[in-house]
Amino acid sequence: MCTPHNITAPSDASPVADSGAASLGADEALLEDLVTANRILFDQGVLDAFGHVSFRHDKDPQRFVMCRNMAPGLVTRDDLIEFHLDGAPINAEGRRVYLERFIHGEIYRFRPDVMAVVHSHSPAVLPFGVVKQSPLKPLCHMAGFIGKAAPVFEIRDVAGDGTNLLITNQELGVALARSLGDGTIVLMRGHGSTVVADELKKAVYRAVYAEINARAQLQACGLGEPTFLSEAEALSTMHTIEGQIPRAWGLWAAAVNR
């Protein structure tokens, strides 16, 4: 049996000491959108008690903002924390932080174009990370961003057998970022998925429609062999539909902010 190498991770979300750097104070509208994003993703069934969403700091690209370790549906403005890309918190002030903050930091480091990240365990997406013969592909015109097919990150290739499947350090974060490559989504075998975008609202949209597309794909496969979008169709639909994201965001935000 292969033993994990160079992988040590805490078993809980113990408080992590702040780096000592001063908070820069991200744009207030972005911070409010991050609160709303957490609530939308919970309301849409993408996040439950677990999962997280972040945005790259608007005043320093070497930082990102995410909430403290908590259920996303309960996030408020006061729960938001700044982090360095290495995962070190800046203003946690003794509050617990997510074990998997390295997903976010290493993707931001690897992909300068990425401005927001969503990590989830959305239930319809999960099966596509464990069945090699059935990759997640864009079936619906709302999910053209998936591209040809979503890659799958296999943690055993990095850390051997016996891990807890979580991305709990920089080494694993780097490996996940490389699996994502220049795409918009990467599945994580037995774990979930991570979606990225060049803005927060788009990342939320993509996380929601990755789940919707996965659900439709599971249903279609029960009927027969699906006809998926071609690469050209996926690109064309992505450019067209993602121009309409404010419509979806407005509806979802109104529902959670009543």
The residues carrying an active-site annotation are 100
Burial profile 51-84: b = 16 or more Cβ within 10 angstroms, e = fewer: bbbbbbbbeeeebbbbbbbbebeebeeebbbbbb
- Token duo for residue 71: 């259920």
Cβ count within 10 A of residue 224: 7
User: How far, in Å, CA of 106 to CA of 170, rounded?
Assistant: 7
For residue 48, CA distances in Å to 38, 123, 258 come to: 10, 10, 20
Question: Do 52 and 41 contact (CB within 8 A), yes or no?
Answer: no
Contact predicate 169/8, CB 8 Å: yes
Q: Which pairs from 126-131 meet CB under 8 Å and 24+ separation?
A: 126/190, 126/192, 127/214, 127/218, 128/152, 128/187, 128/214, 128/217, 129/187, 129/188, 129/189, 129/190, 129/191, 129/192, 129/193, 130/189, 130/190
